[in-house]
Every structure is written in structure tokens, then in C-alpha cells.
Structure 1
Amino acid sequence: MLAPRKRLWSTPLSAIDHCLEWIPLKENDFVLDIGCGDGRILIEWAERISSQKVAFLTSLSFLGIDIDPDRIQECQSASKAAIATGRLSPEIRMDFVCANALESVELFQNATVIFLYLIPRGLKQILPLLKKHASRMRETIRVATYMSKLPLEDDDGKKMIIKLLGRATCRVEHQREAAWPLYFYEIRPHGAEK
């Protein structure tokens, strides 16, 4: 299990402002949210890109993975509603899958951008899979983590370059006085293009 309990507070939508700044999407990007919960991050991200009417809209893909089938149903309903109301372009490929991310690495296959709201133990379990994925793709993947940093102390730096790009803070709706961290990384095999 990558999260400490079945339901967590959802990531605040203010995280998308920071993601758009630190991880601007480009042609053929495939955005993956591991532990997507209610799907709000992917849906909001896709809605914002839809409203910008970028030329490469049809080349974008979004995939959310969550272990809870009820949450996946919420995601699917929310994305259909966003399309029906015109907030989300039907040209963007968006899907949500009920799966254990640790046992479903094939779902990562095309991911170029990964969003993670996992506890430190979950990040420690997922990091080797992210490194393997970047190595297999032979290109840089961009990662955002909410609340916790990637555990970089055990990285030997010989095969993989993991670079912290920056940090932002998100205000949360349920705790007006609180602000929680969001971290941005590049994971790149040596010799891969940035």
C-alpha cells in the first residue's frame, strides 16, 4: 500500500498552478497520476490545457491509477461531466484504471510526466520503478510530488540523474492557515536528452 489509509485529503487544485509553471506540457506528453483519488488533479490539468487551446491538444494523454474502485468511478463520472459541460476537450485522451501501481508497471509505459501524492514509504517503493521507467524510455521524465520529497539519499548517481527543479507551496481548502509542499523533479538516465 502506497498510502496510509483508504481515503486521504485530496490534493488542492492550487497544485495545478504550480504544475503548469514547473512542468509545462508539450506535444505527446503522457501525464500519469499514481494514487489519483477522485481524479481532480488530472481533470483540472486537462481542463486548463483545453482552455489554452494548444495546437498539440490531440497528442496529450492523461491516466489516473487508484486501488479503490469507488474512487475510479468518481473519476470517470467527473471526467464525463467535464466533457459534457465543455470544460474538458473530448480530443484529450483521459482514462482511469483501478490497479495496484506496484503490480501494474505496464501502465507506466508511455508516461513522461508523473504526479504523486504518496507517503514517504510509498515514494520509496515507487522510486525504483520510476528510475527503471526513465531508463527504459531513454528520456527525461518529469515528476511532481505533493507533501513528501522523493527519497534521493540512496541514489548512486551513476546510471540516473535525479534533479530537484524546485519547490512550491499549496494552500488547502480544509485548512486555511496551512500550506503544504509540492516538489518538482527530473529523472534522467545519463546521456538522455533533457
Structure 2
Amino acid sequence: MPGRLLALLLVLATAILAQQYTDVPFVPTSTDVVDAMLDLAGIKPGDVLVDLGSGDGRIVIAAAKRFGIHATGVEIDPDLVRKSEASARLEGLAGKTTFVQADLFQYDLRQASVVTMFLTPGFNMRLRPKLLSELRPGTRIVSHRFDLGSWAPAKTVHVNDDQIYLWVVPPRGASATGAAAPANAPAGQSFEKLAAMFSYDPAAPLDPHSDEPVPADGASVTAVSYSGARGPVSATLVTPARKSRYPAVVFVHDYGKRDEFLPETLSLARAARPFVSLLIDGPQERPVGWRRSFNSLADNNDQEIHIQAVIDIRRGIDLLAARSDVDAGRIAYVGHGYGANWGAILSSIERRLRGFVLVAAYPSLAELVESDDPEWANLRYGLGSERTARYRESISAVDPIRFTRFWAGAPILFQFGRFDSFVSRAMADRLVQSIPSAQKALFYDAGHSVNDPRALTDRADFLTHLLVTPPHRPPVK
């Protein structure tokens, strides 16, 4: 065997052994870069630093030593954790440092005010939804070498031939793109003004009520209600029979009742890796006395219904997050038709949701008004040209595509029917392409209902991978 080939094989074998606990070899960060990262973070007394993929602990130790703060390293490799602990003891910093052997995707980041990392481009993008959903506004994120995709850094510094990036977690509901508005956003509409339509008081009482649970062969079905934006919201809670703590999914229907998704949620509750599900009625489908009907003749009525629906869904997330059988850090969303449109809006403003499945969503409600569908043609005829123009202007305020441009980073699975009479292929493509980062879009031989059995399987696979399947082990510095 030629010597060069033998040497190459030895290098490969060494690399494989080095990756026993990680996806890339251990790459130490230089002292100059460590110092620059901590300087860029603007560390102050009382800060809590978490270093993701902490390697031999050098960033954690440097932060505790220089600034006197408490710092934690999260590392998957037990040997590196032990080495870090020994180094901290030698520096007399055992009381100021903590090293946790854990998967960084499972570690709770909510206590951090500073997060540092030296990972890979792929891991950074997979971490982005977690960072945005768990970290408090104002938290500083510093990454060595690799950025966070379309989320533009607040500052970039160069150290020797390397780059370090800083981001500051924006207020809840604000853009995570680093810009006030993308170039292709509707003129005159800042994200802050758009998001303000869906603001609410999360401290307002939910006043939850529930009927007696109905057993359902390995699951339990309970009719519930809670206080929404304009009165009670009717919903169904589907839970696994065994008591534990589960990921959860919010389901919101199109036309018709919330029971559209009941068979699917029962399957999820009975699965080997089960879910809790909350099926929410849209405002237009609630019991008499709670219902708000669409009425294009009443100025801004339909716009207000869409706004109410989004706020009611956010209140439903509050309801799930408060339950002892729900892991509040693992909640996703599935919506169909109108429910998908509301999910598209939520993908920009609601960071507690880890991911979305949007079924038969359309980019523009105003555009739908001009479609050839007989229902919309009759509406235009009944309104007349002047009222139709006024209705279009009002309803366009809640067009999904106004919000998807400000996507907050949680992954989206789009599902469309090839024979959908409402959503053309061009409309579907336009909505998918409005997301700043590429998302998965699947098309089925179906109409607007997207009732292909494969769509259910694809949804279940997506949700399981997103909320249940342990992620790949992260790299270390």
C-alpha cells in the first residue's frame, strides 16, 4: 500500500475515533477569539452565560475568571466535561462554573442572558428556532465563525482571519431578520405595526372550563373552553391515556368544525411516541352566542375575525403551556385553509411554536377575492366594484404573505393539493418562496382538502422528527 494512502487511512481512522461523541472533531478556540467573543457580548455583572458545545471549557472558565459571573458549559462528550471541571478547579472557579453533559438541543436556555457557540452552519440554523423561542428579549448571542442565515447580526468583528458575530434577541413579535423590513415587503408596513394587530395580555385569566373526559381506546377526548380575544373559545383536548409529559400540537381547521383533525389527533395520542393535541374552533364556527360570522358587507368585520382568530390561538398556546402533561418547549402547529393562513402569521410573531404544518395556505386573502371560484364571484357581484375595492383593502391587512417575510425561524412543512380550486401552483410557490430560508413544500394529487393519506403520514413524520426524535449530536469547540 503506498505510504501516502496508508497515512490518509490513519488520519481517517483517527477522525472516526474522535467523533465517538460528536459530529465533528474537537477544534479549540484560540485565546484571542475567546477574549473577543466575551468582549463582543458586553458582559456585565449578573449575566448568566451558557456556552453551547463547550469543549474543554475555555470560554466558560474565561467568562467566570474575567467577569466574575456564573457560566455554564453544555457538552455531549463526558471526557471533555470531566476535563473542563478539572480545569475550573485548578483555576479556583468550581463555584462559578457548571458543566453539563447534555444534548444542546434539549438543554433549557431560558436562564441565559448570554449564549456563546462555535458550531457549524447546519447546527446554527437548526438552533435558530430554539434560540428565538427560549431566550428572553435582550439576550446576546455570540457565534464564532458561522452566522444564523437570514437573521442579520447586530455586529461583526474580525480577529486575525476569523469572524465573530453578535445578535440581540428582539422583543417578542419583532423581526428576527435584522432589518426593519425586507425590500419586497408591502410599502409603508413595518413589522412592528403588523405584529401589533395581534398583541394581547398574556397575564389575562384564561378561565378554562372542561367537560368530563371521554375515554377513546388509549386516548382521552375532552371538550374545553377558555377566554379568548372576544369571549369564550371552544376547543377539544386530546391526550394520551398514560400520564406523562408530552409534546403538543395546536390544530386549526378550515371550513367546518374542529373535528376535521380529530381522527388524526387520536392517532397521535395513541402513537408509540404520543402527543397532546388542542383542536381550536375558528371564530366563525363556534357555538351560537360565541360565534362571529364572516360578513363582507360590514366594514372591517372579516379582518377583525382573522385578527381575533390569531389571538385566540395564542391564548390556546397559553392554555397548553400551563398544563402539567405538556412540555411547553415542544409545541407545534398544524393549520388547514384559514387555519394555515393564521399559522403563516404566527410563524412570524409566535416564538413558542417549534414548527408549523401549513395545509392549503394561500399568500393573499385579497387576491382570493378576485378568483374565479363561484363563491367569490358572487361576493364581488353582490358588493359592487366600490365595496369590493374597500373589502380588498381591509382584508389585505391580514394577508399571510405580509408576515411570512418576517419569518421567525421555526421550520415549516407546506402541503398543497395539485387540483386545489382556491390555491394555484403559482400562489403556492409565491407563499413558499416568501420565507427567507428554504422550507419543504409537498404537493399531492388532491383538491383543497389535501386528503391524500400520504399527507397525514408526512405530517406525523414531520412532527415526530421536530418534537420527539433526538437530534444529531452537536460538534464541540
TM-score (norm 1): 0.71
1:66 and 2:48 matched: no
Q: What is residue 110 of structure 1 aligned with on the other side?
A: 111
Within-5 A mapping of 1:73-152: 73-83=82-92, 88=93, 93-104=96-107, 106=108, 108-134=109-135, 137=136, 139-152=137-150
1:37 and 2:55 matched: yes
Q: Structure 1, residues 21-54: CA drift from partner, whole Å, max 9, x if none?
A: 32221232110000000001111222222xxxxx
Give the direction of change, closer, same or farther, for the CA distance of 1:66–1:20 in structure 2 (3 Å limit): closer
1:19 and 2:37 matched: yes
In 1: Cα distance, 2:173 partner to 2:45 partner: 22
Q: Structure 1, residues 74-96: CA drift from partner, whole Å, max 9, x if none?
A: 1000000011xxxx5x6x63100
Q: What is residue 226 of structure 2 aligned with on the other side?
A: none
In 2: Cα distance, 1:23 partner to 1:145 partner: 10
In 2: Cα distance, 1:96 partner to 1:132 partner: 23
Contact 2:37 2:144 in 1 (8 A): no
SS of residue in 2 equivalent to 1:100: coil
Name the aligned partner's letter for residue 166 of structure 1.
K
SS of residue in 2 equivalent to 1:110: coil
TM superposition shift of 1:185: 1.1
TM superposition shift of 1:142: 0.2
Name the aligned partner's letter for residue 156 of structure 2.
R
TM superposition shift of 1:121: 0.7
Q: What is residue 188 of structure 1 aligned with on the other side?
A: 170
SS of residue in 1 equivalent to 2:170: strand
In 2: Cα distance, 1:22 partner to 1:184 partner: 7
Name the aligned partner's letter for residue 164 of structure 1.
P
Q: What is residue 157 of structure 2 aligned with on the other side?
A: 168
Q: Percent same amino acid at aligned positions?
A: 23
The structure, 1 or 2, with the larger RCO (C-alpha pairs under 8 Å, 6+ apart) is 1
Contact 2:140 2:166 in 1 (8 A): yes
Aligned residues: 155
In 2: Cα distance, 1:123 partner to 1:113 partner: 16
Contact 1:163 1:187 in 2 (8 A): no
Of 22-31 and 109-118, deviating more is: 22-31
SS of residue in 2 equivalent to 1:189: coil
Give the direction of change, closer, same or farther, for the CA distance of 1:20–1:146 in structure 2 (3 Å limit): closer
SS of residue in 2 equivalent to 1:188: coil
In 1: Cα distance, 2:102 partner to 2:71 partner: 16
Name the aligned partner's letter for residue 140 of structure 1.
G
SS of residue in 2 equivalent to 1:103: coil
Name the aligned partner's letter for residue 165 of structure 1.
A
Structure 2: runs of 5+ lacking an equivalent: 1-18, 175-477
Structure 1: runs of 5+ lacking an equivalent: 50-56, 153-161, 172-178
TM superposition shift of 1:4: 3.5
Contact 2:72 2:98 in 1 (8 A): yes
Contact 2:115 2:140 in 1 (8 A): yes
Larger radius of gyration: 2
Q: What is residue 359 of structure 2 aligned with on the other side?
A: none
Contact 1:12 1:170 in 2 (8 A): no
